[in-house]
Chains A and B, each alone.
Chain A
Amino acid sequence: MRVTGATLEELFRDSLLGMVALADPVSSAERRALRREIALESGDATALLVDFLNEALALMHTDREAYTDVAFHSLAERSLQATLEGYRAESFGEDIKAVTYHEADVNRAATGAWETIIVFDI
């Protein structure tokens, strides 16, 4: 998945929503809304993004959650605090098993936009 964002926040948000879209969640018509708090520290922006997505992925697997938005209370290149918003999913159409570092590199393009590639182990 190739992701770009005008800001770091946009890059992280779209990476999360892209991953959830790829996982293809199925839910009943009546969705129960839920929130999740996440706080992470990592070595750099790439590690932070991979850790963020892996943390969300683990919750998707263990608690069958699908996320529709994220609010960042703080987001720097090495740490974040966020609230994930979503709903309980009944199942997923695609088995994303892990978020890898393969080709991942959060960087700023000449245009000033943030970008990276994210490869999922499926």
Chain B
Amino acid sequence: MNRSGIAPIRIDTVLRENKLMFDLSRLERVSACLWEIPKSFRDDMRVPARIYSSEAMLKEIVRDRSIEQLINVATLPGIALWALAMPDAHEGYGFPVGGIAAFDAQHGVISPGGIGYDINCGVRVLRSSLKKEDVLPHLRNLSRTLFAEVPSGVGRGGRLAFRGPDLDAVLVRGARRMFELGYATEDDLAHTESEGALPGADPAFVSEQAKSRGHDQLGTMGAGNHFVEVGYVEQIFDAEAAEKLGLCADRVTVLIHTGSRGFGHQVATDHIRVMNRAMPRYKIELPDRELACVPFDSEEGRQYFAAMQAAANFAWANRQLITHEVREAFRKVFSDGALSLVYDVAHNIAKLEEYRIGPVSKRLVVHRKGATRAFPGQPVLIPGSMGTTSYILLGQQASLEASFGSSCHGAGRRMSRTQARKDFNPAALRDDLAKQGIVVNAGSGRGLVEEAPLAYKDVDAVVNVVHEAGIAKKVVRLRPLVVVKG
């Protein structure tokens, strides 16, 4: 095998590390964990921008352009109440990651940039019948078996290929299609956001290129920050809520984090192109082209929403098929594949929801980009970085009034992948994790260091903000034992 013989080209990577990108003194404090940039800050803002954060964490957020991006979001047509950022916010493409924006369904827009390229990137958590002491002697075997069972890494296809009507059935029925094929239980569907299928999906608005990119990607994890992680319940904050979720001290859990793979990326790319061409017709002018958008109630808006829902269903089918693979791995190692789904949440998605705005109830297109739905009583899953803890919370009533029923989605990056590659060494990182009792199986050393714990914010601090703000309440904290990634 030879590497390509392409003539070398000088490539300068563009970094802005270690500069403060926003003047903190321009923020007004609303409450202990909430800060506001008033509408008067910039002429084109239609609503204020709000940031949920502790005072200490604000210093992390202003290290990149996430606040400038949030202000840009506040200029979009039809935006309701505020543009919101959660404590895990960091710079994204157009919208910040860790951002929420809701647009009037009648007069507002839909924007792929407010959802992200990886449509319905999300996370699910499973609980096993095993306790920590049952799995400790088998960590290496479990790690190897999971790595073999769950295809991961760049360009790696899955065991199944779906084409034509078979793929369309997945796009329309999502996780339910996996149930029909024998890869899910009714209980799995009952514990998945939207039962793993959005009803407005229409494969007719998905390009052949997207279908071709996705045809063999179901049941695959991909690379980047996606992972399968085995852990255990390290701490219980709310015993009653934990019991309802079937969780007790030392109970072994599995987190699965992945999305719609290349399929979702191609759907986003295709429709951003369509929107860029359509915007002049709708007289939409933007401060950043990654905010490309069209009226939700327009032909282009309806088509993107239908395609986005197809990609969301693809992602739910993907996480469901990976769940089947993880069960197979547990069966091989422990002769017990009993893993029950606690819950599955999307954190890159747009949904039509109803909220009270002043005296009236309005239908809003809620964009969550790196943000988790946190409806009252709903489990909210917040994975930390590899080597740190993760949390399960329960959404609270206050989320409906304060954050369009949304919470943070993870620790949030504090360092670019490029910077992490420069700062960390794979061997040292593996050693460090091994000292903490964590077995890591990663397809590439480069991919491993990009996800080093120090490349992320402190997940405890992030979760404490949403807990203290009353958006979601802490139930349990999970500690990793095995991390498998592409």
Residues of A whose CB lies within 8 Å of any CB of B are: 1-2, 14, 17-18, 20-22, 24-29, 42-43, 46-47, 51, 54, 58, 61-62, 64, 66, 68, 89-95, 97-104, 117, 119, 121-122
A24 to B289, CA, bound (A): 28
A103 to B93, CA, bound (A): 9
Known: A21-B4, A100-B93, A102-B93. A93 touches B213 (CB 8 A): no
Query: Which residues on the A side are within 8 Å of B209 (C-beta)?
Result: 58, 62
Query: Which residues on the A side are within 8 Å of B222 (C-beta)?
Result: 95
- The answer to whether A2 and B14 have CB atoms under 8 Å apart is yes
A46-B289, A104-B289, A121-B93 given. 11 additional CB < 8 A pairs?
Answer: A25-B6, A26-B4, A29-B2, A51-B273, A62-B212, A62-B213, A92-B154, A95-B155, A97-B118, A101-B93, A102-B290
Query: Which residues on the B side are within 8 Å of A90 (C-beta)?
Result: 1
Known: A29-B2, A58-B209. A17 touches B290 (CB 8 A): no
Mask, B427-449, CB within 8 Å of A = 1, is: 00000000000000000000000
A85 to B11, CA, bound (A): 21
- The answer to whether A24 and B93 have CB atoms under 8 Å apart is no
Query: Which residues on the A side are within 8 Å of B117 (C-beta)?
Result: 97-98, 100, 121
A104 to B288, CA, bound (A): 10
Q: Can you list 23 A-B pairs with a CB-CB distance of less than 8 A? A: A1-B11, A21-B4, A21-B8, A21-B9, A25-B4, A42-B277, A43-B276, A51-B273, A58-B209, A62-B209, A68-B5, A91-B154, A92-B155, A95-B223, A97-B265, A101-B94, A101-B288, A102-B94, A103-B14, A104-B289, A119-B93, A121-B117, A121-B265
Mask, B251-278, CB within 8 Å of A = 1, is: 0000000000010011011001100110
A33 to B179, CA, bound (A): 43
CB distance from B119 to the nearest CB of A (A): 12
Of the candidates B7, B213, B223, which one forms a contact with A58 in the assembled complex, judged by CB atoms under 8 Å apart? B213
Query: Which residues on the B side are within 8 Å of A95 (C-beta)?
Result: 154-155, 222-224
Please indicate which of the listed interface residues A14, A93, A102, A103 has the most CB atoms of chain B within 10 Å of its own CB: A102
Known: A95-B155, A102-B290. A17 touches B9 (CB 8 A): yes
Query: Which residues on the B side are within 8 Å of A18 (C-beta)?
Result: 9, 11
| Interface band, chain B | 35 or more
A17 to B289, CA, bound (A): 24
Q: Counting CB contacts under 8 A, is B13 at the interface?
A: yes
- The answer to whether B14 and A28 have CB atoms under 8 Å apart is no
- The answer to whether B4 and A89 have CB atoms under 8 Å apart is yes
Q: Counting CB contacts under 8 A, is B12 at the interface?
A: yes
Q: Counting CB contacts under 8 A, is B3 at the interface?
A: yes
- The answer to whether B268 and A24 have CB atoms under 8 Å apart is no
A11 to B347, CA, bound (A): 37
Chain B, interface SS category: loop
- The answer to whether A27 and B2 have CB atoms under 8 Å apart is yes
| Top 6 A-B residue pairs of the complex, sorted by shortest distance between their CB atoms | A101-B289, A62-B212, A2-B12, A95-B154, A97-B265, A58-B209
CB distance from B448 to the nearest CB of A (A): 14
Q: Which positions 60-107 of chain B face chain A at CB distance < 8 Å? A: 93-94
Please indicate which of the listed interface residues A26, A91, A95, A104 has the most CB atoms of chain B within 10 Å of its own CB: A95
Query: Which residues on the B side are within 8 Å of A58 (C-beta)?
Result: 209, 213, 266, 269
CB distance from A19 to the nearest CB of B (A): 10
CB distance from B3 to the nearest CB of A (A): 6
Please, which residue of chain B has its CB at the minimum distance from the CB of A28? B1
Q: Which positions 312-343 of chain B face chain A at CB distance < 8 Å? A: none
Known: A58-B266, A61-B213, A62-B213. A21 touches B1 (CB 8 A): no
Mask, B194-212, CB within 8 Å of A = 1, is: 0000000000000001001
CB distance from B217 to the nearest CB of A (A): 10
CB distance from B265 to the nearest CB of A (A): 4
Query: Which residues on the A side are within 8 Å of B363 (C-beta)?
Result: none
A122 to B154, CA, bound (A): 10
A119 to B265, CA, bound (A): 15
Please, which residue of chain A has its CB at the minimum distance from the CB of B291? A101
Please indicate which of the listed interface residues A22, A68, A90, A101 has the most CB atoms of chain B within 10 Å of its own CB: A101
A29 to B4, CA, bound (A): 10
- The answer to whether B93 and A68 have CB atoms under 8 Å apart is no
Query: Which residues on the A side are within 8 Å of B3 (C-beta)?
Result: 24-26
- The answer to whether A17 and B213 have CB atoms under 8 Å apart is no
- The answer to whether A98 and B269 have CB atoms under 8 Å apart is yes
Query: Which residues on the A side are within 8 Å of B4 (C-beta)?
Result: 20-21, 24-27, 66, 68, 89
Of the candidates A24, A99, A122, which one forms a contact with B224 in the assembled complex, judged by CB atoms under 8 Å apart? A122
Query: Which residues on the B side are within 8 Å of A24 (C-beta)?
Result: 3-4
A101 to B262, CA, bound (A): 18
Known: A46-B289, A122-B417. A20 touches B224 (CB 8 A): no
A65 to B273, CA, bound (A): 22
Please, which residue of chain B has its CB at the minimum distance from the CB of A91? B155
Q: Which positions 201-237 of chain B face chain A at CB distance < 8 Å? A: 209, 212-213, 222-224
A24 to B9, CA, bound (A): 13
Of the candidates A66, A94, A98, which one forms a contact with B268 in the assembled complex, judged by CB atoms under 8 Å apart? A98
Of the candidates B13, B212, B262, which one forms a contact with A1 in the assembled complex, judged by CB atoms under 8 Å apart? B13
Please, which residue of chain B has its CB at the minimum distance from the CB of A41? B277
Query: Which residues on the A side are within 8 Å of B8 (C-beta)?
Result: 21
A68 to B173, CA, bound (A): 41
- The answer to whether B273 and A22 have CB atoms under 8 Å apart is no
A121 to B268, CA, bound (A): 12
